[in-house]
Amino acid sequence: MRKSILTLAAAALMAGAAHAETATYAMDPTHTFATFEIGHFGTSTNRGRFDKKEGSVQLDRAARTGKVEVSIDATSINTGTEAFNKHLQSAELFDAAKYPTIKFVSDKFSFSGDKVSEVSGSLTLLGKTLPVTLKASQFNCYNSPMLKREVCGGDFETTIDRTAFGMNYGIDWGFPKNVHLVIQVEAVKQ
């Protein structure tokens, strides 16, 4: 009996120690970018980014677990051309007046060794939520000499079928349905 109580106590301490490893990170907006790429009549690639984004990450590297929540302001789309920005914000595409927030939420992190290799979660776009997996092309944590705190982040990417979210503009003209998303993120330990 004494042995089983000690075993339970040790397991509880180990679980508590693993939980204590979880750290919270706030996304650094100056080093975090959400961009997209889509073909244009098979000739070139249209690119854009969202200038306003925020989020947080909880990461436990020892337990290889994490959570992330990212909110992107659809009205902050920036292609470098104001007329194109307005068209992208219109009801034909992002419908930013009706759906001002794009959101990604995940509590499933996959690791390769001690580095995050992918994050699987849900993307909400145009009021519809679908599963999405972001693959890490690189991931690292470092001690920032300027902030004097740990920073973790990487480059993550995926390709989505925009028509699955109801974004059908230009399909009849030959615009592709697939959109490549690239999320560059750095988050500062709190």
Long-range contacts of 157-161 (CB under 8 A, 24+ apart): 157/181, 157/182, 157/183, 158/132, 158/133, 158/134, 160/123, 160/130, 160/132
List Cβ neighbours of 68 (8 Å cut-off, separation of 6 or more): 55, 56, 57, 58, 104, 105, 106, 119, 121
pLDDT digits (tens, 9 = 90+) for 100-120: 999 999 999 999 998 999 999
Start-to-end CA span in the chain (Å): 42
Tokens standing for 187?
Answer: 């988050």
Residue 130 binned pLDDT confidence (cut-offs 50, 70, 90)? very high
pLDDT digits (tens, 9 = 90+) for 144-189: 999 999 999 999 999 999 999 999 999 999 899 999 999 999 999 9
Residue 11 binned pLDDT confidence (cut-offs 50, 70, 90)? very low
Distance of CA 121 to the CA centre of its chain: 9
Q: Where are the beta strands (DSSP E) in 11-167?
A: 23-27, 33-40, 44-50, 53-60, 65-73, 77-78, 101-112, 115-125, 128-143, 150-161
CB 103 within 8 A of CB 72: yes
Amino acid making up residue 160: I
Residue 20 binned pLDDT confidence (cut-offs 50, 70, 90)? low
Tokens standing for 116?
Answer: 């995050």
